[in-house]
Amino acid sequence: SRPYRPAEVDFNHPRIFDSDRILSLDRTPKSITIYGAGVIGCEYASMFRNLGIKVNLINTRDKLLEFLDDEIIDALSYHLRDLGIVIRHREVLDRIEGHDDGVVISLKSGKQLKSDILLWANGRVGNTDRLNLEAIGLAPSSRGYLTVNDVFQTEIPNVYAVGDVIGFPSLASAAYTQGRVAAGHVCDRDSDCRAIGEIPTGIYTSPEISSVGKSERELTASNVPYEVGNAQFKSLARAQITGRGAGMLKILFHRETLEILGIHCFGANAAEIIHIGQAIMAQPSPGNSLMYFINTTFNYPTMAEAYRVAALNGFNRLF
C-alpha cells in the first residue's frame, strides 16, 4: 500500500509530507501538525514528541484508535497528553496553506494551527490501481481494497489477495500468515497452512500497545458473561527495577468456563508480552483457561509475571 494523498493537499510543498516521505526528513523541525490519528499518526506523534518536537495531533473521530479496548484508549490518550502532545478530536479539514516559514492548517470548526511541517497520516491506499483488475471483473474499492473469503480468494476464485490490499488489519505479520493460507489452498494443503484465529495487534506508541482477542465493548455487545483481571506494571518488581512502571496487562475471561477471551497490554514491551497470552488462547479447550496462569510459576523478576497477577486479580472477583 501507499499513503492516501488527496488531490487538494499540495504534497510537492517542501513542508508537507506523507507517512512515507517523512522518513526522508533532513532537518529537525520545532513543531509538527499530524492530520490523522490512526495507528500511523499516533506512532509518529510519539516519535516526534520524544525528540522534543511540539506536536499537534488532529483526529477526525471521537476517540483515538477506536478498535482498541476503551481502557487502553483512555490510557493512550492520557500518556500522549502527558508527553505534551496536543490532541484535537472530531475535527475536519478545511484547507492547508504552505508558506516559506511553515504550514497553516484551517479546520471547519474555525481553528487554525501553524507548525514548521505538516504530516498527512489519514489512511493508506491499496496498490491495485495499476493491475488492470477491471479487465478480469474485479473492482477494488475507492481505497484500492479487494474483498476476499476465509482462504483469501477474491470474487474470481483463481485470484487471491493478501496483505494491505484487503484492508484491516494491514499488518506485515498478518500478511505473512495470509500468504501461507492462500498458498496452502492453492496447493490443496489447507491442513498444513491454517491461520490462527486471533491475530495480535502491535502499536509502537509511547508506551507500546498490543492486544489479541475481544475487547470489553465487543463482549458487552454480545452479552457474554465475562470478568476482568488487571495487573498494573508499577506493582511488578521488574518494572520498578527498570523504571518503566507505566502500563498494565488486562485479561478478559468467561465467568463460567474461565476461557480467556481477550488480552490487552499497554506499556514497555507490550508487543512481546502479548505472545504468551496469544499462545494460551490458541489452545483447544480446556487448554485455554485462566487457570494456566494461576498455576504456572513465572521467573522473578519478569514482566511476564503480570499474567499471574492479572489472573489472580480476576479470579478473586468471582463469587
The owner of cell 520498578 is: 240
**Is the model's pLDDT at 13 over the cut of 90?**
yes
pLDDT score of 244: 94
Q: Which CATH superfamily is domain 2-124 in?
A: FAD/NAD(P)-binding domain (3.50.50.60)
CA distances to 154, 165, 243, 270 from 195, in Å: 17, 18, 38, 22
Contact 90, 66 (CB under 8 A): no
Contact 253, 261 (CB under 8 A): yes
**Sheet containing strand 209-213, strands side by side:** 201-203, 209-213, 260-267, 247-254, 226-232
**Is the model's pLDDT at 280 over the cut of 70?**
yes
The rounded mean pLDDT for the chain is: 95
Tens of pLDDT, residues 93-118 = 999 999 999 999 999 999 999 999 99
Query: Regarding the domain delimited by 201-315, which CATH topology (the fold level of the hierarchy) does it fall under?
Result: Enolase-like; domain 1 (3.30.390)
**Is the model's pLDDT at 196 over the cut of 70?**
no
The pLDDT-based confidence of 22 (bands split at 50, 70, 90) is very high
Query: Where in the chain are all domains bearing CATH 3.50.50.60?
Result: 2-124, 126-192
Q: What is the CATH number of domain 126-192?
A: 3.50.50.60
What is the maximal distance between C-alpha atoms in the chain?
66
**Is the model's pLDDT at 271 over the cut of 90?**
yes
pLDDT-above-90 percentage for the chain = 92
Rounded Cα gap, residues 278 and 59, in angstroms = 30
**Is the model's pLDDT at 191 over the cut of 70?**
no
pLDDT score of 164: 95
Rounded Cα gap, residues 202 and 267, in angstroms = 11
pLDDT-above-70 percentage for the chain = 97
